Amino acid sequence: MTTFEQVPVFQCEFEDDRTGLSKETIKRALADNLFYIQGKVPATATPNDYYMALAYTVRDRMLQRWFKTTEVYTKKGVKVVSYLSAEFLLGPHLSNNLINLGIYDLVRQVVEESGLDFVQLREIEEEPGLGNGGLGRLAACYMDSLSTLEIPAIGYGIRYEFGIFDQEIRDGWQVEITDKWLHLGNPWEIPRLEETIEVKFGGRTEAYYDEKCRYRVRWIPDKVVKGVPYDTPISGYNVNTVNTLRLWKAEAPESFEFQAFNVGDYYGAVNRKVVSENITKVLYPNDELMKGKELRLEQQYFFVSCSLQDMIRLHLQKGESLETFHQSFAVQLNDTHPSIGVAELMRLLVDEYEIEWDQAWQITQNTFGYTNHTLLPEALEKWTLSLFKNLLPRHLQIIYEINQRFLGQVRAKYPNDSDRLARLSLIDESGEKYVRMANLASVGSHAINGVAALHTELLKRDVLGDFHELWPEKFSNKTNGVTPRRWIVVSNPLLANLITRKIGVDWISHLEDLKQLEAFIEDAEFRREWRQTKQDIKGYLATYIKENHGIEVNPESLFDVQVKRLHEYKRQHLNVLHIITLYKRIKDNPNIEITPRTFIFGGKAAPGYFMAKLIIKLINSVGDVVNNDPDVRDRLKVVFLPDYNVRFGQRVYPAADLSEQISTAGKEASGTGNMKFAMNGALTIGTLDGANIEIREEVGEENFFLFGLTTEQVYELKSKGYNPWDYYHNNPQLKQVIDLISSGFFSHGDTNLFRPLVDSLLYHDPYMLFADYQSYIDAQDQVNQAYRDQEHWTRMSILNAARMGKFSSDRAILEYCQEIWNAVPVKIELEEYIQGRA
């Protein structure tokens, strides 16, 4: 193996084209990469070629840091955090890496001096949409913080060929288009073909006695698939650490097919190849809905097995024995998607490395931590025994063994409590039999956490209540956080500059420093600048909306934004009820004094989720009427911006005045969009749900628009018997709004179009929109009042941003490191002859 020092280029005395940071060198590097990597000269180069050359120029400048960081993983005594996640919703890399390397302005200048349009090139990048929403984006924020905090870490996941679908809106309806993010190549990843791993599937097991007469089991699979790792560097801000995100791609092992070719089964062989490669083809686009699809379990097992085998390889390379595996790796399960890892690590240790069960179990429990991300019952993963047995026969046996031992312990502690036993069992036997993945994750981990204070309390009480009674010490809360690098510095440079001018740059890696802004709250000039900044950004968004969607919006109006996945529990339709209420007020009294508002929506619906798609249609239909009614006189505008993704998030969070966080209390585990808005100076209208509660605590109740039932009140009302008709009949305003929808007013007279939605509200209203309606309208009226006093609004806006320190993902990661992973920072030092940072 070539060591770092042996690579001759690192000893260059002059500034190397791949590392140098002078303008001249970067300019030369761009031309060099254009010619030697893209094989183009300016006469034939497309904008994408220039983007690629630029991306390689940036990547080159990360490589030595990356290489050095990777070396650290192989050092004895260094504990590596391994974040296992089926989703990483990274968003565009270019700007983020430029910021983290400290070379954004420099590179931008060079690009522009070379006669290229930096913004155009930046916008060419296809974002890797390898996640559905909050859960996947959280994993990306955590990778950023791990690097920034200099924690040795690897993210493991799946390299989906097709990420989350692109959304188009046709005639007001969502249409899904496949996301071809790889079609022009991906300059940020490096395939490591030599580190390919084999994963087995299906077949049967066989018992035997080994040479020491010990009872053993071997697995005889009927399919083997290769996992090829693709590595992406994850830079930290202002440090040398560059961690790795390792995503696995499934390929068919050629050797496996020789036999088929020899007997002439050419098409059979090709077909098996296609089937193998299907495993990592596409991201399942359901958020918070478990669908028992075999391919999904294949995906989960595939990436988890590759990752655990990879970790074992790294551990053994250090010359360590497997007994100390948990000292080398802290493995975090990002929800239950990777929880098959518990059974897989047991299989690897017991079957393949011949470690005794009890010791293997100790190692396994010490290795894993489990984060739960949802309380919705429909999201809890479970697999039928037959599906499980077909795909993973050995794992099912191992799960039975784990279960038998575990239930033995439970029986000893709670004799004669068969109900408790049935609830705790890894196997659901209440009807058709299932493997319960949350139970497997809970039993196999030493730490279990929720993602916001309320969510953790509800987990302890309900979903994992029996586990909490059994092992209270395993449970803790880790309130989510988001990275201020991407969500302020990259996305909102105007605000970032204003803040830095006031308090210096330290806040970017110590977000609590934003508190210092409070000292300027009485400074009228500062407030003016703050207001002006928000105004300018709203202007940019207005221009973007005009240019891309043809809708004229007034940048002076209140920008009221709800961007997130479409889901009934998130209650985008409650927002619509408010819009119709305002519209009705105008229709009844066209000269009414009203605070002009622009309602901005964005979000994708799971392709099979009819009600969510109907809500999109409703938003667009209400928009059509409101936006074109001359009585409204442009005081209200409703825009649904298609294809909400990370890039669009970066555009919209900074421009928001009001952040809509209006889920039914007890349903949103945390939310993270709520944090991104407030950090950028938006005020929140929200329920006491998820992290809203903690945001309100931090920013102060006087700077937060609260409404709605509490979780307790929701439970109480449900148990008393909730009847939406009561609200409909007793609230004339609500009745008018619902009747207007039913009448076909927003659907060209079609009284059927929105009936499923209206009927669902009238007859069931599972998310209690009607119960919260009046309280929501009242809070919105307070928002209108408050917005009229711009000085006061600005103060509240500043205080919101200034008090968001807690919600940095750096704080969250530090808590995980100290309380779950037992991981500490390791400084990455670079040799002097390697160029330092800019």
Task: State the binding string over 375-404 for ligand GL7 (x if CB under 6 A, else -).
Answer: ----x-------------------------
Q: Of residues 40, 326, 564, 567, which has the active-site annotation?
A: 564
Per-position DSSP letters for 649-662, written without gaps between them: HHHHGGG-SEEEE-
Query: By CB under 6 A, what part of segment 199-238 binds ligand GL7?
Result: none
- Minimum separation from the CB atom of position 300 to ligand GL7 (A): 14
Q: What angle do CA 521, 524, 525 make, to 5 degrees?
A: 110
- Minimum separation from the CB atom of position 570 to ligand GL7 (A): 9
- Minimum separation from the CB atom of position 279 to ligand GL7 (A): 21
Question: Smaller CB distance to ligand GL7: residue 282 or 828?
Answer: 282
664 binding ligand GL7? (CB under 6 A): no
Question: Smaller CB distance to ligand GL7: residue 379 or 656?
Answer: 379
For 337, residues 6+ apart whose C-beta sits below 8 A from its C-beta are 85, 86, 87, 300, 381
- In the chain, % helix, strand, coil (3-state, to 5) comes to 55, 15, 30
The binder of ligand GL7 chosen from 670, 692, 711, 808 (CB under 6 A): 670
- How far apart are the C-alpha atoms of 820 and 814, rounded to whole Å? 10
The secondary structure of residue 760, as a DSSP letter, is H
Per the CB < 8 A criterion, the answer to whether 344 and 305 are in contact is yes
Per-position DSSP letters for 331-389, written without gaps between them: EEEESSTTTTHHHHHHHIIIIIS---HHHHHHHHHHHEEEE-----GGGS-EEEHHHHH
Task: For residue 518, give both structure tokens.
Answer: 């409070």
Active site residue 565: yes
672 binding ligand GL7? (CB under 6 A): yes
Element spanning 699, H or E: helix 692-699
Active site residue 672: yes
Question: Smaller CB distance to ligand GL7: residue 559 or 807?
Answer: 807
Question: Smaller CB distance to ligand GL7: residue 25 or 449?
Answer: 449
Among candidate residues 531, 136, 170, the one with its CA nearest the CA of residue 373: 136
**Alpha helix (H) ranges present in 426-516?**
437-444, 453-461, 465-470, 484, 493-503
298 binding ligand GL7? (CB under 6 A): no
The binder of ligand GL7 chosen from 25, 70, 148, 480 (CB under 6 A): 480
Could you tell me which stretch among 74-82, 111-119, 152-160, 666-674 binds ligand GL7 (CB under 6 A)? Answer: 666-674
Active site residue 538: no
Per the CB < 8 A criterion, the answer to whether 536 and 528 are in contact is no
Query: By CB under 6 A, what part of segment 20-59 binds ligand GL7?
Result: none
Question: Smaller CB distance to ligand GL7: residue 236 or 690?
Answer: 690
Chain position whose Cβ is nearest to ligand GL7? 134
Task: State the binding string over 721-740 for ligand GL7 (x if CB under 6 A, else -).
Answer: --------------------
Q: What's the residue count for the chain?
A: 838
- Minimum separation from the CB atom of position 816 to ligand GL7 (A): 13
Query: By CB under 6 A, what part of segment 246-265 binds ligand GL7?
Result: none
276 binding ligand GL7? (CB under 6 A): no
Question: Smaller CB distance to ligand GL7: residue 560 or 668?
Answer: 668
Instruction: Give the dihedral sign, CA 332/335/337/340.
Output: positive
- Minimum separation from the CB atom of position 371 to ligand GL7 (A): 7
Question: Smaller CB distance to ligand GL7: residue 250 or 438?
Answer: 438
163 binding ligand GL7? (CB under 6 A): no
373 binding ligand GL7? (CB under 6 A): yes
SS3 call for 158: strand
Q: Of residues 59, 296, 373, 567, which has the active-site annotation?
A: 373
* Contacts by 429-432, CB closer than 8 A, 24 or more apart: 432/384
668 binding ligand GL7? (CB under 6 A): yes
The binder of ligand GL7 chosen from 374, 403, 742, 809 (CB under 6 A): 374
The binder of ligand GL7 chosen from 21, 53, 110, 135 (CB under 6 A): 135
The residue with tokens 């798609």 is 613
Active site residue 226: no
Question: Smaller CB distance to ligand GL7: residue 669 or 740?
Answer: 669
Task: For residue 814, give both structure tokens.
Answer: 């530090």
* Number of residues near ligand GL7 (by CB under 6 A): 18
Could you tell me which stretch among 133-141, 213-221, 295-303, 341-349 binds ligand GL7 (CB under 6 A)? Answer: 133-141
- Minimum separation from the CB atom of position 574 to ligand GL7 (A): 17
- Minimum separation from the CB atom of position 480 to ligand GL7 (A): 5
- Minimum separation from the CB atom of position 199 to ligand GL7 (A): 25
Q: What angle do CA 264, 270, 273 make, to 5 degrees?
A: 135
Could you tell me which stretch among 134-142, 303-311, 489-497, 545-553 binds ligand GL7 (CB under 6 A)? Answer: 134-142
- Minimum separation from the CB atom of position 689 to ligand GL7 (A): 9
The binder of ligand GL7 chosen from 144, 231, 288, 560 (CB under 6 A): 288
- Minimum separation from the CB atom of position 287 to ligand GL7 (A): 4
Per-residue HEC secondary structure of 383-423 comes to EEHHHHHHHCHHHHHHHHHHHHHHHHHHHHHCCCCHHHHHH
* 154-164 CB burial, b ≥16 within 10 A, e <16: bbbbbbbbbbb
133 binding ligand GL7? (CB under 6 A): yes
Q: Of residues 70, 672, 684, 711, which has the active-site annotation?
A: 672
The binder of ligand GL7 chosen from 20, 91, 92, 134 (CB under 6 A): 134
240 binding ligand GL7? (CB under 6 A): no
The secondary structure of residue 600, as a DSSP letter, is E
Task: State the binding string over 688-707 for ligand GL7 (x if CB under 6 A, else -).
Answer: --x-----------------
Active site residue 212: no
17 binding ligand GL7? (CB under 6 A): no
The residue with tokens 């100076």 is 681
- Minimum separation from the CB atom of position 138 to ligand GL7 (A): 4
Q: Of residues 565, 637, 647, 696, which has the active-site annotation?
A: 565
Q: Of residues 570, 571, 597, 604, which has the active-site annotation?
A: 570
Per the CB < 8 A criterion, the answer to whether 535 and 555 are in contact is yes
Question: Smaller CB distance to ligand GL7: residue 229 or 285?
Answer: 285
Q: What angle do CA 64, 65, 70 make, to 5 degrees?
A: 95
For 162, residues 6+ apart whose C-beta sits below 8 A from its C-beta are 178, 179, 180, 181, 281, 282, 283
671 binding ligand GL7? (CB under 6 A): yes
**Alpha-carbon distance values, 483 to 141, 151, 384, 496, 808 (Å):** 5, 15, 38, 13, 6
Among candidate residues 616, 838, 691, the one with its CA nearest the CA of residue 19: 838
Query: By CB under 6 A, what part of segment 433-462 binds ligand GL7?
Result: 451
The secondary structure of residue 482, as a DSSP letter, is B
The binder of ligand GL7 chosen from 197, 312, 669, 757 (CB under 6 A): 669
Phi-psi region of 77 (alpha: psi -120 to 50; beta: other; left: phi over 0): left
Per the CB < 8 A criterion, the answer to whether 711 and 458 are in contact is yes
Could you tell me which stretch among 52-60, 303-311, 458-466, 667-675 binds ligand GL7 (CB under 6 A)? Answer: 667-675
What is the separation of C-alpha 46 from the centre of its chain, rounded to a whole number of angstroms? 32
Question: Smaller CB distance to ligand GL7: residue 19 or 670?
Answer: 670
Per-residue HEC secondary structure of 38-96 comes to CCCCCCCCCHHHHHHHHHHHHHHHHHHHHHHHHHHHCCCCCCEEEEECCCEECCCCHHH
The binder of ligand GL7 chosen from 33, 38, 96, 132 (CB under 6 A): 132
Burial classification of residue 224, based on how many CB atoms lie within 10 Å of its CB (0-12 exposed, 13-18 middle, 19 or more buried):
middle
User: Which positions touch ligand GL7 (CB under 6 A)?
Assistant: 132-135, 138, 287-288, 373-374, 379, 451, 480, 668-672, 690
Active site residues: 373, 564-565, 570, 672, 676
